[in-house]
Structure 1
């Protein structure tokens, strides 16, 4: 699963772990002790999508109450002062509690597609820059042919703090390299099992040029970090890091999943981690010398549509 991406500050596919850190860790007596803190943190993150009707909101709540499959658009966004940013990480995620299966399909940022609501063809990550969450969501839905029930948006700055909040993570590293790239930290990433703190985790997921597999290699490291944080955040020892996890999320996370819905997801969907399917959309890159796009065939789009639809089937 290899596909090109550009930009020195790549977003990581870690948004799912952020929400799961809140959902899964919030259990037991300690959860009740911290209930108010959780609710306040989630209320701060809550941001409904524009023009979403009350009927749609009610229908989605009923879906969760019935433990039916749901879909979530995960977006990694680099928002800096004076710059709205772009959604350089896009993942269409589905949760099927009956099958106990979680599915994450990555859509490369350079994917060429129509930007819904703008009437132009561009890289899919431009949709967020042009029209925020709603345009990004509409564009992904048009590309996949599948409706996204919810969204979770995370700023890159959350990653380092989140890794530190869970007390560091363990990952498997297939390469040996020293970080002498954009951030020039000089970290040595030895081949094998690694223990990473927040800053080292950032370097681990950002490296691309020293990897013979390029962006695909980086994407695999991003998934390593996702799984590492989920594993650590859902462990018993992470209960003591609960307030740190909430603080790490803070203003870096926005979602249209309300507090009550999160609690129901925690209760009804927690077993989806028993089977995690990961896939990255494939395509053909533009020849050298031209503006780079990833051109995705209709056959590949159909495959992605069918994959998502299958896990959303009741």
Structure 2
């Protein structure tokens, strides 16, 4: 596996694990602080009924280059399409003859995947959210990554979901950008929207407020990144090449997208650089004295429905997956619909994502 992929998964699924491992090793006071932090981060999701996905086929609006920057935030919603017929019930590992139809998952499989036993090393799917919350504004999810983990094979699959991806919203039945789900209904609606869009039951989520990045990075003494393109953003200048960033610089570096030819994909890559280096620093030998302050920031800026026991299970029983991650990219097209930019994906692409992720979860 390439070094970039190994670094990617370090922050992707196990950033918290690195913090907690050091906390446990430090013993006593720090362990008590870690326990309090885990409890403070706990924020359960409301129970929702599983709804079988429908991978609808859309009309063909004006097509834009895929690296087009996102347009205005004010979206004009489209009416929902009618569901036509019921797909056949098949095992989740099966591939039927119609690549545009979603696999229908049995109730038993849905229950197992939504409520896995981490103590028994059962596979699971997690949605990672990077949100930009500010005082008086819940904000939107700038980063959405769907991660499936199969500890028995030591494999994982990570899918980065562009923020402008056009989906049917579960709360309204109308089309909108997937990152608006967080603005409408927080983490719960984000999880539901991703489940409906790709047909994969989600067990856990972890939300990080990117605004807290300033405090975390400054506590760590900054981060090192390797910038691929020179740019200026929010009063900061970022030349091409390796550089050291403080907290404010790291936040600006992670937010820019409109000047990036790769749009959301480029921004996501920069965020990975920052978080990957931050995790490396957390795992460093000199971080123990900084842990109380780091734990305080984590309790303020991170929320998850993982219990403290489940987090410890991830540390002790799931670490083998960190070295074997398949990175998936969502293949779509940029389109203007009623004057609004969207990243659209076909029914066949949704089915491809669903099939690959369910196969990974079902491996034994």
With normalisation by structure 1, the TM-score equals: 0.83
Spell out the pairing of 1:1-314 with structure 2 (5 A cutoff): 16=13, 18-28=15-25, 30-51=26-47, 63-177=117-231, 179=232, 181=233, 183-185=234-236, 187=237, 189-287=238-336, 290-313=339-362, 314=364
Gap change, CA 1:138 and 1:157, over 3 Å in 2: same
Cα shift readout 1:44-64 (whole Å, capped 9, x = no counterpart): 1111112379xx999977621
Structure of larger gyration radius: 2
Indicate if the aligned counterparts of 1:168 and 1:197 stay in contact, CA closer than 8 A.
yes
After TM superposition, give the deviation of residue 124 of structure 1 in Å.
1.2
After TM superposition, give the deviation of residue 90 of structure 1 in Å.
1.3
Q: Alignment partner of 1:157: what SS?
A: helix
Q: How many residues align?
A: 293
Gap change, CA 1:88 and 1:215, over 3 Å in 2: closer
Gap change, CA 1:241 and 1:43, over 3 Å in 2: same
| 1:9 paired residue number | none
Aligned equivalents of 1:308 and 1:58: distance in 2? 15
Aligned equivalents of 2:34 and 2:214: distance in 1? 21
Gap change, CA 1:202 and 1:273, over 3 Å in 2: same
Aligned equivalents of 2:265 and 2:113: distance in 1? 37
Cα shift readout 1:60-98 (whole Å, capped 9, x = no counterpart): 776211112221111122222332322232111122223
After TM superposition, give the deviation of residue 17 of structure 1 in Å.
5.7
Indicate if the aligned counterparts of 2:162 and 2:264 stay in contact, CA closer than 8 A.
no
Indicate if the aligned counterparts of 2:46 and 2:188 stay in contact, CA closer than 8 A.
yes
Indicate if the aligned counterparts of 1:61 and 1:261 stay in contact, CA closer than 8 A.
no
CA RMSD of aligned residues (A): 2.7
After TM superposition, give the deviation of residue 144 of structure 1 in Å.
1.3
Cα shift readout 1:124-162 (whole Å, capped 9, x = no counterpart): 122222222222211111111111101111112122222
Indicate if the aligned counterparts of 1:286 and 1:293 stay in contact, CA closer than 8 A.
yes
Where does the alignment leave 5 or more consecutive residues of structure 1 unmatched? 1-13
Aligned equivalents of 1:213 and 1:125: distance in 2? 18
Cα shift readout 1:141-189 (whole Å, capped 9, x = no counterpart): 1111111101111112122222223332222222234x3x3x213x3x3
Q: Alignment partner of 2:341: what SS?
A: coil
Which aligned runs of 4 or more in structure 1 are off by greater than 4 angstroms?
Answer: 14-18, 56-62
Aligned equivalents of 2:19 and 2:112: distance in 1? 23
Cα shift readout 1:15-67 (whole Å, capped 9, x = no counterpart): 75653343443342x044411111111111111112379xx999977621111
Aligned equivalents of 2:345 and 2:333: distance in 1? 7
Indicate if the aligned counterparts of 2:134 and 2:211 stay in contact, CA closer than 8 A.
no
| 2:86 paired residue number | none
Where does the alignment leave 5 or more consecutive residues of structure 2 unmatched? 1-10, 50-109
